[in-house]
Amino acid sequence: MAQVCVDRVVGEILAGWRYDISGLAPEMREDYEQHFAECQRCRSKQRMHRTIDFGLIFIASGSAIVFLLAFGAIRHFNPARALLLEIGALSGFAFSALMWIIVAIATPVPVVVVGVAKHHARRLHERLPEEIRSRIPETLSSKIEE
């Protein structure tokens, strides 16, 4: 059975943004967060888009690491006519790094990662004993509260 969006207007707006509300101000996000809470279809689409985004980041990272390892192996073993191999390995690394940057800019992956880190920092901060919590500078505590 196909899932149906509970509010097609909001669902179409979210689809146009690739289900990313991370860049919106918190007061503007409330309706969309409520829609995600109520709509299984949009929630699953958002999860799928974030999975694809993180997958692209991991693939680009892995590719860059492999090209760097290849360059290191070429330098270590120093085969004949290694210059072309070195250029190829460095070109592959540069291309992978460029793809990583493009994915990081075009997707909400960095914002999602920062949000998850802040969430876990808040949870850890709440579980700290009061004497340790009082030693943490107010500027640092206010950053995790945002």
Q: Say if 113 falls within a structural domain.
A: yes
Q: 121 lies in which domain range? A: 108-146
Looking at the structure of the chain, the number of domains it has is 1
Q: Which position has the higher pLDDT, 57 or 145?
A: 57
Nearest residue to 51 (alpha-carbon basis) of 115, 109, 97? 109
pLDDT tens digits for 110-135?
Answer: 888 888 888 898 898 889 898 888 88
pLDDT of residue 2: 62
Percent of the chain residues topping a pLDDT of 90: 40
The answer to whether position 6 is within a domain reads: no
8 Å CB contact between 64 and 40: no
Q: Is 30 within the bounds of a domain?
A: no
Residue 124 lies in a domain: yes
| pLDDT single digits (tens) 59-93 | 999 999 999 999 999 999 988 888 999 999 999 99
Q: List the structure tokens of 136.
A: 């943490």
Q: Helix 26-38 vs helix 40-77: angle between axes, to the nearest 10 degrees?
A: 110
In a domain, 33, yes or no: no
